Each structure stands twice: as C-alpha cells, then as structure tokens.
Amino acid sequence: MGFAAGGKITDIETLKNIAREIRVLILKMLTEAGSGHTGGSLSAVDVVAALFFAKMKFNPKDPEWRERDRFILSKGHVAPLLYAVLAKTGFFSVELLSTLRKIHSPLQGHPYCRTLPGVEISTGSLGQGLSVANGIALGFRLDKISSRVYCLMGDGEIQEGQIWEAAMTAAHYGLDNICGIVDNNGLQIDGPVEEVMRIAPLHDKWAAFGWHVMEVDGHNMEQILSALNEAENIKGKPTVIIAHTIKGKGVSFFEGKVEYHGIAPTPAELERALKELE
C-alpha cells in the first residue's frame, strides 16, 4: 500500500520547517562534495517539499509501487535537492548524502535511476523531462491509473525546443494528469535568463500551447499548495505552475547570485549559511 510522506502534511509551519531542514542537508552535502549546483537546488526547495510532504502519493518501502505519483526532475543538475528529499522521506539513509559525487556512490552529479530508489528517470540533458512525463501520463491513461505526474523544469531549461514540442503534445492529448512546474528564478549559468534567451511572456506562451497556467510565489507554501490543489481539478488539459523563485533562496549571500549556479559552498560559507538557517 502506498502513502504520502508524513501522512500528507498540511500544516504550513511544519512544511516551512521541513523546507529549512532540506536546505541544510543540501548545503552540507554540497560542501562535503566540493562541487555541485547550489543556486537552483535552493530555489526549488519549497515547491518540491510541498510535493513530497503534502501532495504526492508514494511508498519509500516499495519504490516501484505501480500507483505512485511520479516526480520528474527535468533540471537534473539540482540533484542535491532530490537526494535530500528522498533521504528525508525514507528512501535511503540520510547518512548516504555525505557521499554525493564520490566514486562508487549512487548519488551522482545528476540523478541515475538504476542505482538509487526514488529516482524515476535519469536526467541531466536539459529539455527532456516533459517528454518523459507525457509518456508516463499516457501510460496511466491506458492502464486506467489515476496517478499524477509532476515535472520540474528550469526557466533556462525551457529555452530548449523539445520542451515546447512536449508542451504541444500534452495539450493535444489532453493530459490533465500532468502538472508542469517552472522554477522561474531568473538566472542560468551564463547570466540572467532574459539576456541569454528571452522566455517572456511565459504565462501567455504556455496558455497559447493549450495549458492551464498559474503563477505563484515559489517560496509561499500557501500559494504553492493552493495551486497544486487547483491543478488536480483541471480537466481536459495539462497544468503548468510558474513558480517565481529566488536563486539561492534561504541564504542571504547566495540569493540572486548567478555565480552560485554551479559551485558549492566553502566550509566557511557553510558555517555562515547554517547560522542563518538554524
């Protein structure tokens, strides 16, 4: 039998505290590894915490449970976020997090589904996650399974053309069991998203492709949960939630800094960050 982690937590303060603890785990494992993606891992914490602790159905003791909801981390470089959440929900020991990016560790720099329970698909080549989500959603329909698919994408990632082919496909087939989420933190490795390759007007583009579109403060638990609840009630079309977030959220000296897209904190920075978070 499956379940949502924590028995579907709905208390906002509890969820906020879980998100804070996830940020601590992310920073510790990145510092230990000495490499990895800090900014985007931190920006998407609140959304992913809401999914795993308040919304999704799954069973850590049975990772292959057929009727589980699926989470696709299309922006695979923020693997530390997924690993922290999977450990905290019981898929594996929290102690394993200290092996991030080490030789023979299942916690690779990008998620690898063959060595780690809870990872649905190996990701890292940007732009592919929504296509995978479409396939899973169509499979659910054929098997008459009521489960849902959640696909987290980066705002820089959606510059990839495959995303928009997948967006067109999901709308064409009326895949109302898909919920896409865009981590719209405004920064990618080469600088501001709007300078590298403009994606605005984002709301209008997704709507034009036939999606139900919502925009939320990606660090406001009430708004996130409300949008996820609304998405479940939309019929006949897929839903996308544009989550407006801050790169490096939770640590003042990481927030909004493009240079922390792909580098890990130093031990001194970790100490400062933990004082802010703890």
Q: List, for residues 197-255, the tens digit of each pLDDT value.
A: 999 999 999 999 999 999 999 999 999 999 999 999 999 999 999 999 999 999 999 99
Q: What is the mean pLDDT of residues 15-23?
A: 98
pLDDT at 168: 98
Is the pLDDT at 4 greater than 60? The verdict is no
Q: CA of 212: how far to CAs of 44, 207, 242, in Å?
A: 21, 6, 11
Mean pLDDT value across residues 92-114? 97
Phi-psi region of 222 (alpha: psi -120 to 50; beta: other; left: phi over 0): alpha
- Give tens-digit pLDDT for 164-207: 999 999 999 999 999 999 999 999 999 999 999 999 999 999 99
pLDDT, mean of residues 94-105? 97
Q: Are the CB atoms for 124 and 110 separated by under 8 Å?
A: yes
| Nearest one of 176, 190, 226, 184 to 203, comparing CA atoms | 184
Q: Is the pLDDT of residue 3 over 50?
A: no
Query: What is the radius of gyration, based on Cα positions, of the chain?
Result: 17
Residues β-bridged to residue 191: 188
Distances (CA, A) of 121 to 76, 115, 147: 10, 11, 17
- The whole model's pTM is what? 0.96
Q: Can you tell me the mean pLDDT for 10-16? A: 95
- Amino acid of residue 272: R
Please count the structural domains in the chain.
1
Q: What is the pLDDT of residue 7?
A: 59
Whole-angstrom distance, CA of residue 215 vs CA of residue 242: 5
Task: Find the CATH number of the domain harbouring 207.
Answer: 3.40.50.970
The tokens for 69 are 């909801």
Instruction: Return the percentage of the chain with pLDDT > 70, whole number.
Output: 97
For 121-163, how does the pLDDT look when each residue is reduced to its tens digit (9 = 90+)?
Answer: 999 999 999 999 999 999 999 999 999 999 999 999 999 999 9
Range(s) of the domain holding residue 185:
5-277
